[in-house]
Amino acid sequence: MKGLFISGSGTNVGKTFIAQYLIRYLTNILKVCVRKPVESDCKNKNGKLIPKDALLLSKACNIIESIDKVCRYKFKACSSAQIASQALGLKLTLDDLVDACIADEFVVVEGAGGLLSPIATKTLNSNLIQAINVPVVLVIKDELGAVNQALLSINAAHHYKLNISMIVLNQIYPNLLDNEKAITQYTNVNIVVFNQNDLKSFERQIEKIKLVV
């Protein structure tokens, strides 16, 4: 299986937002499909749960697939996927999620939460990444505390023997923190800065990194 797994230092750090731009970049060089194996906080529309993140990812890729294939497990509850599934009496397993990630083409998989967030019975995002064996793109909000978040996530990745392809510092607001420089003092992991007002710079940065192996 060839692809990338998009994770973050936590929730609301901009995983889906960054993933969309990354997917659009990759579609210039290869066929890309997407998977959001499980999504909670889905809205009910005419009796059907709508996974908003999965829809955004699907619109960014160049392979058309049904939303049920992109996102197999959808939950209304605004909680971790593990808790949301258990509340409905559904015992999601690691094998279920691995099967939901399978794709014939290069696949971009977005997790739910951070590397140590629970997503199924006794299953963390890190366990899923291990099982599908693809590199990780780690998204971190470029703010005060980003260095700590980055190093904690890197240590978690090393513990589970995961390959971090790059860290993306999501610069929502301009700042003078220089988190990129600070983080590089403690790791050799590739770091790029994403600024929505300078997408060309983002593309130039990721062109230097071998995302597709």
Summarised one tens digit per residue, pLDDT across range 113-122 is 899 999 999 9
- Residue from 36, 45, 76, 210 carrying the catalytic annotation: 36
For residue 80, give both structure tokens.
Answer: 């971790």
Span 110-163, pLDDT tens digits: 999 899 999 999 999 999 999 999 999 999 999 999 999 999 999 999 999 999
Q: Which residue has the tokens 């983002």?
A: 202
Q: Based on C-alpha coordinates, what's the Rg of the chain?
A: 16
69 is annotated as an active-site residue: no
CATH of 3-207, one of 3.10.20.30, 3.30.9.10, 3.40.30.10, 3.40.50.300: 3.40.50.300
Question: For residue 26, what are the CA distances in angstroms to 2, 89, 184?
Answer: 13, 38, 25
Strand partners, 194: 170
pTM, to two decimals: 0.94
Backbone angles phi, psi at 73, to 5 degrees: -115, 115
Q: Is 85 annotated as a binding residue?
A: no
Q: Is 12 annotated as a binding residue?
A: yes
Mean pLDDT of 167-182: 94
Q: Is 170 annotated as a binding residue?
A: yes
Residue 213 clears pLDDT 80, i.e. is over it: no
Query: What is the pLDDT of the chain when averaged over all its residues?
Result: 94
125-132 vs 146-159: helix axis angle to the nearest 10? 50
Mean pLDDT of 191-205: 91
Q: Is 17 annotated as a binding residue?
A: yes
